[in-house]
Amino acid sequence: LVLRTITLFSPIRIFLRLSILLLSVGIIYGLIKALITGLGFSVLSAILIVAGLIIGVLGLIADQISQMRLTNLDIEYRKKRKD
């Protein structure tokens, strides 16, 4: 219930942190694996990086939807208060 409320009103807080976590783990793992083995980035690091990017974009979209929803609620509240 708390997570749902947070994602409804400020989704960027959740999605951005998760995105940064996945991106950083993917980049660090990929660099360490590439430097140790000398074979380049692993598939797991590429999947983590892509997942981090996708979650980051979804967070931005969810934040835009949340802002539009809050704006609509504010407009409706002002209309009711005005009447």
Q: Is the dihedral of CA 17, 19, 22, 28 positive or negative?
A: negative
* Whole-prediction pTM: 0.76
How confident is residue 17, by pLDDT bands cut at 50, 70 and 90? very high
Q: How many CB atoms lie within 10 A of CB 43?
A: 8
Helix (H, G, I), strand (E, B) or coil at 32: helix
How confident is residue 32, by pLDDT bands cut at 50, 70 and 90? very high
> Do residues 23 and 48 touch, judged by C-beta distance below 8 A?
yes
Q: How many residues does the chain have?
A: 83
In this predicted structure, the answer to whether residue 43 has a pLDDT above a threshold of 90 is yes
Distance, in Å, from the CA atom of 32 to the CA atom of 26, rounded to the nearest integer, reads 10
